[in-house]
Amino acid sequence: MDELKSRIRKDGTVINSEILKVDRFLNHQIDPQLMKAIGKAFAIHFQNAGITKVLTIESSGIAPALMTGLEMNVPVLFARKKKSLTINEDSLTTDVYSFTKKVHNTVLLEKDTIIKEDHVLIIDDFLANGEAALGLTRLVELAGAAVSGIGIVIEKSFQQGRGRLDRAGYAVYSLARIASLNDHHVQFLD
């Protein structure tokens, strides 16, 4: 997606060879028009996948997931990272490790929000090691539903996540694929 790549070049900051900071348009400050274009791109790519729900994980996945759900006219769900008093005990949970924050999170989804008949599109802002995306696939599968696609805004292709998702057989579509962040430079894959 050219608009996204230009924006990464313009407003992204390479912190080191593993971390790209995009908090000026994606995960702290959000550009709503760019998010709308991102939602449209996912909706077009997965238009024939029979998607009935979009699933993401709080917080940075919510904006692109919401815009995708708006375009596809399906509900959006966000998995939560810890228990709130207003979420009942009847939840599906899985464990996800965050390499960025160096913490294990219990990620949870209320049991009846995804049903067996659902075809779920998983959306996330970043794909690095694949921990979050794989955690979301486990929640969908615990609900007995099908993962019908995984849409990623920015894929760090030099990390292992993409390979893990591909090997597991998921249909992955990333809007920007980054081959390397070496020398403080963003090198895209294509």
Site residues, its own copies (CB under 8 A): 15, 19, 21, 23-24, 28-33, 35-36, 58-59, 62-63, 66-67, 69-70, 73-78, 80, 84-87, 100-102, 109-110, 113
Rounded alpha-carbon distances, angstroms, from residue 42 to 38, 152, 171: 6, 9, 12
Whichever of 97 and 167 has its CB closer to its own copies, that residue is: 97
Q: Which of 1, 6, 9, 32 is nearest to 186 (CA)?
A: 9
* Inter-residue contact 1 to 64 (CB < 8 Å): no
Instruction: Report helix, strand or coil for 94.
Output: strand
Whichever of 29 and 167 has its CB closer to its own copies, that residue is: 29
Q: Is 37 annotated as a binding residue?
A: no
Whichever of 87 and 189 has its CB closer to its own copies, that residue is: 87
Q: Is 156 annotated as a binding residue?
A: yes
Instruction: Report helix, strand or coil for 124.
Output: strand
Binding-site residue positions for 5-phospho-alpha-D-ribose 1-diphosphate? 128-132
